[in-house]
Amino acid sequence: MRRALEPVATQERVLKDLVAKGASTEFGREHKLAQVRGHADLVDAVPLRDYEGLKPWIDRLVAGERDVLWPGAPLYLCKTSGTTSGAKYIPITRDSLPNHIDGARRALLAHIARTGRAEFVDGKMIFLQGSPVLDTSGAVPTGR
């Protein structure tokens, strides 16, 4: 609850932690993340880019290289439907997995808090996601 009452301090702490962890990666070294002290430094160090701008980094992950965008290797790669330019691969790491789960939980709780209605929780629910079957033909397991 304290974090919710101090959103700016919380965001600054999270940014500092993420940048510190990412500084040891190839991406972090190339973008000098070890020198980033806050949001303005990050904006200066890392240019805004779309998926195609990250694709060379993702391709290295797909090939099995470690410590590219995040320390270690991804657990697996989520494959998107690619509505604009074909399939895209999103790395899922041991560190990011709890954030994905927590995001779904928070969305449900925010809906309840905003509407005051929680009766749907007593009913049936379905959470849609991609296939749980992973393609293991590459260096990193990939969603189909």
Residue 142 parent element (H or E): strand 142-143
Question: What is the average pLDDT score of the chain?
Answer: 88
Give the Å distances, CA to CA, from 67 to 3, 24, 40, 97, 132.
Answer: 30, 8, 25, 17, 25
The parent domain of residue 79 ranges over: 73-144
pLDDT tens by residue, 29-54: 999 999 999 999 999 999 999 999 99
**Would residue 39 count as lying in a domain?**
no
**Would residue 121 count as lying in a domain?**
yes
- Positive or negative: CA dihedral 112, 116, 122, 123: negative
**Would residue 42 count as lying in a domain?**
no
**Would residue 108 count as lying in a domain?**
yes
pLDDT tens by residue, 94-121: 999 888 888 888 888 999 999 999 988 8
Residue with the two structure tokens 């691969």: 89
Residue 134: DSSP 8-state: E
pLDDT tens by residue, 73-99: 999 888 887 667 778 888 989 999 888
pLDDT at 127: 65
- Give the pTM: 0.76
Domain count, the chain: 1
